[in-house]
Amino acid sequence: MGITMTGAVDEIAHNFIVPDGTRMEEHTIVACGDVIIGNGVNLGYGVIGENITVGERTSIEGDVKAHSDIRVDLWSKIHGSVSVEADAYFGEFVSIDGKLLVEGNLDVGSNVKIAEGYTAKGWIVVRNPLPVITFIFLYLLTLLQLGRAEEVERALDELFPEEESFLSGKLMIIPDDAKITLTEIIVPGAVVIQNDCRLFGNIRARSVFIGDRNRIFGSVRTDDDVQIGVGCTIDGKIESKREVIISRGSHIMGDVEAKMVILHETARVDGMIRAPEGVILIRDETVGLKDETLRTYHCFSLLFPEEALPRRGLIDGDALNTGYTNQLFHETARD
């Protein structure tokens, strides 16, 4: 799922976007692409990524390693060391508790504190570097509020002529005022976790979308919908005030509580299902298939879910149609 520059204006303010292959390790979040961390974030991990941008008044509890550039805005704190393979930009009153190693140029504002010293192999400039990413988003938000959408598009074209390469599906976005620690992930908007990720912490968000083959060590609680993709494992319960959708081959190690639950027949829920408006069971149309062919079909469907089962957007009405049998159980609970 790619992210455009226009969409990123809203993403940075509200939604936690986790790209393919992201891993939360014991002390570090390892991202496969660029990382944008918003303002006022409490991040209980270090970060490894390509280009890393950090907003104002953000706290990072670990080492930071950027394979390309890094930008850190005013009053932010990094409780660890920083390693940068290209250029580094630090705003006023930024503090680093460890060492700073910069392979390229170093641009720093006044009153920057580096506890264990620094090494820069390029030019060193002491000034107030412009917090570029913050300025861009404030500028775009102002134009949008004034109803000047055409000017926004024109500005984006001039600033980022290759927008798809700048904001690709490998971009991680941690929104303003998020709290992400080993035990909890709390964000003001939605959580979007793409494919093949491993995350720790109980998720609290407005809504949650989890792609395929993910492992979540924690529970999920939302006010809006929850969608679990193919072959996921959730080590906890799921609570939603609306719908919960659990796709093929996923395993929920806890209770599921929602207004309505849509469950594939190959999914597994270890706990109880509480759904006042019922449970919809999605069955594959496999009548007449021999056992050996049926086993092959199920293996194929887990490996290539796009070929075997229609994706999101198929939950409303006619979506659960050709090739599938739906059974609605009007029960408020199920053992």
Domain ranges of the chain: 1-205, 212-329
Q: What angle do CA 200, 29, 141 make, to 5 degrees?
A: 100
| 168, pLDDT greater than 50 | no
Distance CA 195, CA 298 (A): 20
Least trusted range by pLDDT, from 147-156, 162-171, 187-196: 162-171
Above 50 in pLDDT, residue 5? Answer: no
Interval 97-113: pLDDT, tens:
999 999 999 999 888 99
**Tens of pLDDT, residues 280-317:** 998 876 555 556 665 665 565 555 554 444 433 333 33
**pLDDT tens, position by position, 60-79:** 999 999 999 999 999 999 99
DSSP H or E stretch at residue 30: strand 28-30
Q: pLDDT-based confidence at 22, cuts 50/70/90?
A: very high
Q: Which of 195, 264, 282, 272 is nearest to 239 (CA)?
A: 272
CA atoms within 13 A on the CB side of 74: 10
Give dist(CA 271, CA 3) in Å, integer.
36
- Please state, rounded to an integer, the average pLDDT across all residues of the chain: 81
Interatomic CA distance for residues 252 and 226, integer angstroms = 13
> Are 176 and 40 within 8 A, CB to CB?
yes
What's the confidence (pLDDT) of residue 26?
86
215 contacts 21 by C-beta, under 8 angstroms? no
Neighbouring CB atoms inside 10 A of 130's CB total 14
For residue 29, give both structure tokens. Answer: 């979040």
| Predicted confidence (pLDDT) at residue 44 exceeds the cutoff of 50 | yes
